Structure 1
Amino acid sequence: MDLTLAAVIIMGAWVVAIVAAGLVMSLRPGGVAVRLAPAGTTTSVPSGRRDEILLGGDAEVFGNIRGRVRAVQLRPQSRQLQDVELASGLEGRAVPASAIVSADGQVLRLADRWPEAPWDEPRDDAVTLRQDATVGSAEGKRLGKLRLVCFDASSGTVTALVVDGRGTPSRRLLPIERVTAAGPYRVTTDLKATDWTMLQPFATDWEIQQGIIAQVATDPALETVRRSLRIDVEDQRVRLRGYVSDVAQAERVAQLARSVPGVLQVQRELVSDDDLASAVSEAIRRDPATSAAQVQVIARGGTVDIAGEAPDRATARRIESVARQVSGVAVVHNTVAVRQAS
């Protein structure tokens, strides 16, 4: 056989194979775009923590990686998660949504056991969402690429998609109600292209926490604050707890937190030394068993030093008990002496 003819036959076979593979992908469940139920027709109302599945991210069981997230499937009518498709080597497997323990936008954590469903089992008209699917506007313009799927942890309802698009910040939250149809390669929305910058900026809670830690570390004046600072982040809302020397220092920490991209709100629960000392002094003055004592209170970073005089030993001991009940007190040094009778 002529080598040129053989080459033509081989190339033709490759073309036929590629076309056939494309037809199989488009005809299999989840391989085509599926219309979602119109906004307002679903009855499930998100009420819990927002979890975030990183498409292409690791999935693990007790710290052991079981594969990477290839796709997420949801029911088009209820918008509830149906399953997660994992890729492990050349194999793929479907994991039911009930097996999800948590998803923090970095790692998908799964239970150690779940019912295995046959891989070729039909999945009705489930919507398949894959990494890098093109997200388009109502006019057909490209908004960006799909990166994460957000869902309500208590109900399993998908609430938003994270899209990486143009501008800064580049990642934004696309409410699932704005999605009209979706498939593994394209997501269609009812947004106008000009609405893109109106969408809420997105960052994972872990990214926000690390960003705040880095920001606080850049200010030498906050070195002592870092030792007690606790940063809790949920759904991009920050809660700051710890000790500061004064109100100005507390505002500086809050200002740095607000500067981190993706932060929606900062709740400041930082206790200043002056406020803590005043709170302890007030508690001692108001307690009937200690009101007769004459004390001076100094607070520093949650440690309270109490000096002065009390009419008897019982009162001196009670002072320490009262001080420990004040919110924000970590350590009490009680040097109150018993007043000598004249």
Structure 2
Amino acid sequence: MLTVEKLTKDFGRTRAVDDLSFHVRPGVVTGFLGPNGAGKSTTMRMMLGLDRPTSGTATIDGRPYRELDHPLRQVGALLDAGWVHPNRSARSHLRWMAASSSIPARRVDEVIEMVGLTSVATKRAGGFSLGMKQRLGLAGALLGDPHTLLFDEPVNGLDPEGIVWIRNFMRHLAGQGRTVLVSSHLLTEMSLTADHLVVIGQGRLIADCSVGEFTSRASSSVRVRSPRLPDLHRVLAEAGLNVVPLTASDGRPALTVADVTTDQVGDLAGQAGIALHELTGTSASLEEVFMSMTAGAVQYQGGGPPAGPGIDPRTQGGPR
């Protein structure tokens, strides 16, 4: 288990991580999310002993990384896919890593096959695409067959097939009972990969819960159609619900009701004897909830598209 307790990191007058605490449990994929500059990479570097905390602790099974007896056999990490000597082949790079930790050389070819690099194992890593370097970095993380794995943006540079492959592979690793922490800015992908989320902003914890619990924090709404729409509108409004008329994509009139469930609307319609032709609930996506909950913790925000040639931005309703 990965444990972060009251972790704080200052860089001069800038506080990158602020009294952060959470646990990463084995057997599930935990997504580590936050806006750019939120402190995700700094936190992961402190977990691996690459940055010294100002205060607090980050431990693996109760011990700091620097105190582990066989680090590569206990923790595998992919933080920077470019960390490889460009003149070494993929196989030579992994053999060097294996020799440094007394890992049998046969394991090198095993992990090369796992990540799909067998055909380029003898080629210079400097000529690899970013996606191939990601696969090589993943092979290095798996080299010691560790029980704990940390991945920082592992799908960066991968094509759609590669993204699906690594998604399934991470879930397979978690299914083996390993502890898997993955940081990513691809929120749609995280909604398909992660079981649990740790969300931070400006170095502080925002959420530590399952994906379902996180998305349920957003308000839900219901769309409803009925042959007696005016009567239904009156019944729902008298119940104190926020009802807004709309026109469905097929041109038929409907109502949308905010902050309510389909059960509530259905019960009210049934009690009034009003037939329904549609009753559809909608919920916010992971991306929508994430944007809403981290809106106040975004370090860099765009100011909108630039004005075109000859256009005075003061007349376009933009920032002045």
Question: Structure 2-normalised TM-score?
Answer: 0.23
Greater RCO, CA 8 A, separation 6+: 2
Question: Structure 1-normalised TM-score?
Answer: 0.22
Bigger helix share: 2
Bigger strand share: 1
Greater C-alpha Rg: 1
